[in-house]
Amino acid sequence: MLQVRGVKVRYSGAVLALQAVSLDVPSGAVVAVLGSNGAGKTTLLRSVSGTLADHGGAVDEGAIEFEGASLVGRSAAELAANGLVHVPEGRRVFTRLTVAENLRAGSFAVRDRARRAAAARRVHELFPVLHDRRDQRAGLLSGGQQQMLAIGRALMAGPRMLLIDEPSLGLAPQMVDRVGEVIKEINEQGTTVLLVEQNASMALSVASHAVVLTLGIVTLSGAAADLAADPSVRELYLGIRPETERGTPSGDTRSATAEAARVPAGTGARLGRWEL
C-alpha cells in the first residue's frame, strides 16, 4: 500500500535526517518504526504525509508511493483527501475549540454526508468519552483523552491509512495500553497503520511488522514477533538484559543512545539487518 524507496531527507539543505530509507507497509498491516531520539522517525512520517516542507525539510532522493501513486511534493490536505492521514506527535488538538468542533475539523474535506456520519459513529463507538465531553473545550481533557481526540479527528477524514507519531508520549502506563488497544481495533476495522513509537513494548504488541531506525538508516526490519525476540531489540528497546532476562521492561527507547544502537550482525535469522 505504501512503499518508501531509498529516501534521503535533509533539513535546511544541510542536516541529513534520513540517509536511504526503504520500507513497505502492506494493506491491512500495522508497521511500527522504532528508534532512539533523533533517529529520524518523525522525519519519515513527515516525508510520507506531505508535511516535511513545513519544517524546512525536503526529500533529496528516493521515491514514496501510496497505492501506486507518487507522494513526493503533494500537500498534506491532498493526501488526506486521498485517504492518508497523519496524527502528529504532541496531540495537536485545538485546545480552545470544543471536542465536537475538533472532530468536525477532521471531516471538513469529506463532502459525502453519509461518509461523515459513518466516521462520526465509528469515533463515537471507539471513544465514548469524547461523545460524553463533546461540549467541553479540548484543552480541558486529560493527556490520554487528547490523544484519543487527535486519533478520533484523524478518523473523521475516513482514512485508509493512518500515520501515528508517538501516541504514547507522556501518557501513564494504563493509558499507553489503552492507546495500543485502540490502534489494534482501528486496524481490525480495516485501516492500515504506520506507527512511530519509542515505547517498543507497546508498538511490538500491536504491530505485524517493524523496523528499527538508527541515525537515519533502517538497521533492522522484520515481523514484529521476530523483532520482539531479537536479543539486541530486547536489550536496547525493551530493556531486558540477556544475562538476567529480568531487567526493567520500561519499553522506553529514549535511554538507548545512538552508539548503543549499533547492533551486532549475525543474530536474528529471519530479520533483515544492516550494519552501520
Interaction residues for ligand ATP, span 174-233 (CB under 6 A): 198
Residue 262: CB minimum distance to ligand ATP, A:
16
- Strands 161-165 vs 84-87: parallel, antiparallel or unpaired: parallel
Q: Within a 10 A sphere around the Cβ of 256, how many other Cβ atoms?
A: 22
Residue 52: CB minimum distance to ligand ATP, A:
9
Residue 79: CB minimum distance to ligand ATP, A:
18
By the rule CB under 6 A, 260 interacts with ligand ATP: no
By the rule CB under 6 A, 56 interacts with ligand ATP: yes
Contact string 136-165 vs ligand ATP (x = CB under 6 A): ------------------------------
Contact string 7-46 vs ligand ATP (x = CB under 6 A): ----xx--x-x-----------------x-xxxxxxx---
Q: Are 10 and 58 a contacting pair, CB within 8 Å?
A: yes
Extract the runs of DSSP E, i.e. beta strands, from 184-261: 192-196, 209-214, 217-223
Helix (H) or strand (E) run with residue 151 in it: helix 143-155
Helix (H) or strand (E) run with residue 183 in it: helix 173-188
User: Which residue type occupies 148?
Assistant: M
Q: Are 94 and 153 a contacting pair, CB within 8 Å?
A: no
Residue 29: CB minimum distance to ligand ATP, A:
21
List of residues contacting ligand ATP (CB under 6 A): 11-12, 15, 17, 35, 37-43, 55-56, 198
